[in-house]
Structure 1
Amino acid sequence: MAVHDKTDALVPFPVAWVDAPPTVSRRLVLGSGVGALLGGLGAVALLLDGEYPLGFTTALIAAFFGASAHISSRAWRWPGRRRPLVDSVDGIGLRFRAGAGGWRFTVGAMVAGVPFGVALGWAAYHDPTPTGRTWVALVNSPILLGWCLFQLWNVATGCLRRGEVLLTPEGVTYSAWGDRFSLPWDRAARVDAELSPGLGRRAAPGVRVTRRPGFCTSHERTARGFSSTATSHLPDLVVRADQVEGDPALLAHALAFYATHHELLEELGDARALERVRSGRAVAPHLAR
């Protein structure tokens, strides 16, 4: 695929990912786009007819499908993201962040779920001809409202946060939704790029940090209601590469480089590591063979 040979890429594309299938289906992308279009047209028609509650609800559903189409299309094109997006935290370490689209979409859905739950309960409570569906709405609306408020509290307190991979002189930390995984460098045996079938229905590109015998990756659950699929790969540490913002190959090479060059780990304590990665000098040759 020509997309793997872009001239602005700093590091070679891992050979294990060359034949990786799209992590989402084209059908999902097209279906979400069609749903957003039809929902938007329906919302406009309802609003013009004066059906404001139903119109706004339909518009909300259309926005949901539109955001889903956008996010899934980016996931479908993940091999083309070869931009060197990496930074540090207060000048220390390397930080690779997960895509902002999925995070904003999730938080936006939580925010939208609050008025939607209130409106659903209010409409069901004032239904002059209650039916079975009315009672279902009355039961589900406080559940939806409570769940959204609880997760927004997790976001506000930092328990639920945008995913990131952080490389420090001590080791690697992977934060994914409501889970945090960490593994010190001296307990990491090797780093490989792979296709991990356990990451979902489709084989997804991953970076596996294999732990040394007798050790395991530490795991901390920071929030309830969201769980990372990386838990299924414990005691090793596996990072979803296609969810990284920017060039996923840059993350794979940086992890493998510092896992095999312990004498250079002190670079992660200042700006030298960031300069090395951004200049394309953090390369692990075994990933490209």
Structure 2
Amino acid sequence: MYAQAVYVLGGLAVVNAASVHQLQKVKSKQANATVVWDGRLSKTATAADFDGTAGPFKPDFTKGQNVSFSDLVFLPGDVSLFDTAVAAQALTVTVNDNSIFAPGGTNLPQTAIRRTELMPTNSTSATSGVKTLHFSMKVDSTRPLNVSHEYLLVFLETATFDANQFRVKTGTQIGSDGATKNDLLILGNSKDGNEPLFSTPFVADQFTNIALKMDFNANTIQVFQSTGTAALVQRTEPLANDLSGNGELHFGVNKNPTDPGTDSLRSGFQEAGINEGITYGGIFVEDSANGKVSLQ
């Protein structure tokens, strides 16, 4: 079974055949672009697969204590832009009152944060050379966010845990007036402040599709975006951004408190009785050393 993939090459759209993804495989090919890590789920995948080691995501990180990912991840039957061609399905990541992460199992739980994040089991090749990270996302209408809070949804965290090389956020950014609370914001390295590199409305009931072309040699990031089933469109030129530090990708819901104190991980307000989620689809990383980026 084959699908078509479209690439940017010298300003022209080039169409080629793409091979079908299988859940247990982390390498496949889309024409001349190699998929170096693939987080798309086959139609036969179940929530229980997230508790084992055979799938594309780690079974232990990042989530609250004494809870399994199978209790936090749901498969709603949706498909996004890059799921259809490979017979994949989307997934929903949720947080609730028990989504309190304790790093390393320590006695210092992050009591002011509610977080559930999926992390790839093997993505070391995703943070070198020139790679394009693809993902689609939408709010779970049955588990809406409270946009008076700031949400961190996708990010790359350095291996030393002291910075994020890029961040995708929504909601009311801490310290802001909330003017962008219904937008998706793509921000650069957390050491360089919070000025967005790109923003787009986070529309309801449709996937927002994002591709981030990252040059880890030149330290640049370039944004491609579309909505629904539309092909990705280049939205920025390559932008200077410090991508050093290797690290790991995170996909999920990281809900920050309102009115945080000096220690924003452990002080601030979180309302009780929450059940919130984001639906993700089409998650994969391709090698773009040849300049190609899949657009649909």
TM over 0.5: no
Task: Return the index of the structure with the highest Cα Rg.
Answer: 1
TM-score range, shorter chain: under 0.3
TM-score where L is the length of structure 1: 0.28
Higher-helix-fraction structure: 1
Higher-strand-fraction structure: 2
TM-score where L is the length of structure 2: 0.27
